[in-house]
């Protein structure tokens, strides 16, 4: 029996993680086993990359050992807070030897902004936290590190007028180049179905590409998706989205899927399950024509849906539930400006003293 999309992805990520662990000290395997059941596979891969940077710093900057393989948990225990703070400074700018296209080694510069530094230090904190809880180190010095402050970023989303223009461009491709229009003629029905589905439900791009034919339920206008955290839920779509999906399915019947991709709902031009990267490029292609000053990504389509839903319902808990946020505070953070606008709009609703003549 073929694996589901998310299972296949987890399998690939597991294989990738095992390869990355070979570049880390052996004792790190304990950490990855310890967090296995509570951490997503992609997060574990990110931890592995971040820990490789950390041990490279210990090897090359602190000269503790000549090889990363030689590090022990005692070396982690012995690090001082100033040395960990120095690591944060190291993350701002470092160099790395990398093989170029000609097979020659060259030195490249790596600059990290606060967002990247915060992620790497958060990974280190998780690493130390596990070792401390497991009794492998006697103190958790990383817990004393202060994370970099991030400036508030504007939430980028499309308004309803821009969404309409975006979908028109997806459907008609008027502003595409001649070469792009050649591909557009072959894929516009699929592209429109995908964009309408994402804008009309707020599903993540990974959830969209992971859909199978069997996940569609036209009796209830719903799709079954696999959420982050492993939960399967049903999300409902509008009649407009249904129309786009039905049009695509008629076209889908004429395709012969590649072996192993028979169940995939959305197919690439190679008749394989379409990839996340392909959808990212698709969104960029169309959005750059109608909103050139906004960097629109699949996640921004999700933000646009959340904004529209909140403006229509005013129910932040409903938005959190539909978007699959486990913590409503995540939702509130994204729509704080809209909440402020709603609070301001009711400032005159409660009257303390009525005007003369009012009953």
Q: What is the C-alpha separation between 237 and 91, in angstroms, rounded?
A: 44
Residue-level pLDDT at 67: 95
Whether this prediction's pTM lies above 0.75 is answered by yes
* pLDDT at residue 329, rounded to an integer: 77
- CA angle, 23 as apex, 18 and 29 as ends, to 5°? 55
Mean pLDDT calculated for residue range 89-116? 84
Which single residue is written with the structure tokens 């698709």?
Answer: 282
Average pLDDT over residues 272-280: 96
Q: Give the least confident one: 65-79, 98-112, 234-248.
A: 98-112
Task: Enumerate the domain spans of the chain.
Answer: 5-144, 160-345
Is the pLDDT at 346 greater than 70, yes or no?
no
Check residues 229 and 135 and name the one with the higher pLDDT.
135
Residue 11 has pLDDT above 70, yes or no: yes
Stretch 128-145: mean pLDDT: 96
CA–CA distance, 171 with 185 (Å, rounded to integer): 9
Average pLDDT score, the chain: 89
Quote the radius of gyration of the chain (alpha carbons, Å): 25
Position 100 scores a pLDDT of 76
Q: Among the residues of the chain, which ranges form H helices?
A: 5-21, 28-34, 41-60, 73-78, 81-92, 114-133, 160-172, 178-201, 205-209, 239-252, 276-290, 298-313, 316-323, 328-334, 336-345
Q: What is the DSSP string of 126-182?
A: HHHHHHHHTTSSS--GGGGPPPPP-PPPP-----HHHHHHHHHHHHH-TTS-HHHHH
Top-tier CATH class for 160-345? mainly alpha
16 or 359, higher pLDDT: 16
């Amino acid at each position: 029996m073929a694996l589901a999309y998310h299972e296949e992805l987890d399998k690939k990520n597991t294989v990738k993680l095992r390869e990355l662990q070979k570049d880390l000290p052996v004792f790190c395997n304990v950490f990855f086993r310890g967090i296995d059941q509570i951490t997503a596979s992609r997060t574990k891969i990110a931890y592995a990359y971040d820990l490789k940077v950390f041990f490279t710093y210990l090897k090359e900057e602190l000269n503790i050992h000549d090889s990363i393989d030689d590090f022990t948990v005692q070396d982690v225990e012995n690090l001082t807070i100033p040395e960990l703070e120095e690591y944060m400074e190291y993350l701002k700018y470092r160099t790395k030897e990398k093989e170029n296209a000609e097979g020659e080694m060259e030195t490249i510069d790596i600059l990290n902004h606060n967002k990247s530094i915060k992620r790497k230090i958060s990974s280190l904190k998780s690493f130390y936290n596990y070792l401390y809880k497991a009794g492998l180190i006697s103190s958790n010095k990383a817990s004393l590190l202060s994370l970099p402050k991030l400036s508030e970023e504007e939430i980028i989303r499309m308004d309803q007028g821009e969404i309409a223009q975006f979908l028109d461009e997806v459907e008609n491709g008027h502003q595409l180049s001649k070469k792009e229009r050649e591909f557009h003629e072959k894929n516009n029905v699929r592209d429109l179905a995908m964009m309408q589905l994402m804008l009309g439900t707020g599903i993540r791009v990974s959830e969209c590409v992971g859909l199978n034919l069997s996940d569609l339920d036209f009796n209830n206008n719903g799709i079954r998706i696999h959420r982050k955290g492993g939960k399967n839920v049903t999300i409902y779509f509008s009649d407009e989205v249904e129309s786009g999906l039905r049009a695509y399915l008629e076209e889908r019947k004429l395709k012969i899927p590649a072996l192993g991709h028979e169940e995939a709902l959305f197919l690439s031009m190679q008749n394989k399950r379409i990839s996340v990267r392909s959808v990212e490029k698709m969104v960029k292609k169309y959005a750059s024509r109608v909103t050139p000053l906004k960097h629109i990504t699949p996640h921004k389509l999700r933000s646009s849906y959340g904004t529209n839903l909140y403006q229509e319902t005013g129910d932040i808990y409903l938005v959190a539930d539909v978007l699959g946020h486990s913590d409503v505070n995540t939702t509130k953070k994204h729509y704080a400006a809209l909440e402020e606008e709603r609070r301001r709009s009711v400032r005159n609703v409660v009257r303390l003293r009525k005007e003369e003549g009012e009953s």
